[in-house]
Each structure stands twice: as C-alpha cells, then as structure tokens.
Amino acid sequence: AWELWKEGTPLALLDPTIGQPFSRNDVIRCIQMGLLGVQENPALRPTMATISLVLNIYSVTLPMPQKSACFHRDRTPLVEHAN
C-alpha cells in the first residue's frame, strides 16, 4: 500500500471485482487513514475520534502519511533451512 501511495496510484489497491460506481476521493481518504494508522510513532497516528470525524465530515483535512514502521526496520529475508 505504501509503495502504491508513494507512486501516486493508491487505487491500484482496489479489487477489480468491486466494480463501479465508487467515490475515488472516498477510497483514497480511506487508504490515507489506513496508512496514517500504521505510522511508527504512535503520536502521529489518528485517534478514533479523528477517524470518526473524517468519516462524517468530508472537509476535515488529513496529514500526508509517512513510511510505516515496517519500512524502517531491517528487511532481511528469513532463510529457511531444509531438513
């Protein structure tokens, strides 16, 4: 999700079987909220009150998400051992 957001193609996350119609802006806001919810620093994550407000009042502006915690850690692949 982060890579697609960074590339400016977050709608590529959608399952094509969902079909139309859907609000492009609503989907992007939901993806943005999801990415904000996995920020490494908990203080940067939106509260449930903020999420509720955003879902009910469209004029609320969300901050841009930063990389999630999983992108800040060592991404060395696990090595499987054959027995």
For the entire predicted model, the pTM comes to 0.74
Range of the domain at 45: 1-56
* Residue 2 within any structural domain of the chain: yes
Which of 32, 21, 24, 23 lies closest to 60 in space, CA to CA? 32
Does 69 score more than 70 pLDDT? no
Number of domains making up the chain? 1
* Residue 69 within any structural domain of the chain: no
* Residue 72 within any structural domain of the chain: no
* Residue 46 within any structural domain of the chain: yes
pLDDT tens for 28-68 read 999 999 999 988 888 889 999 988 888 888 888 888 888 77
* Residue 45 within any structural domain of the chain: yes
Instruction: Label residue 8 left, alpha or beta by phi (over 0 means left) and psi (-120 to 50 means alpha).
Output: left
* Residue 79 within any structural domain of the chain: no
Radius of gyration, CA atoms only, the chain:
16
CA atoms within 13 A of residue 67's CA, in its CB half-sphere: 6
* Residue 70 within any structural domain of the chain: no
* Residue 3 within any structural domain of the chain: yes
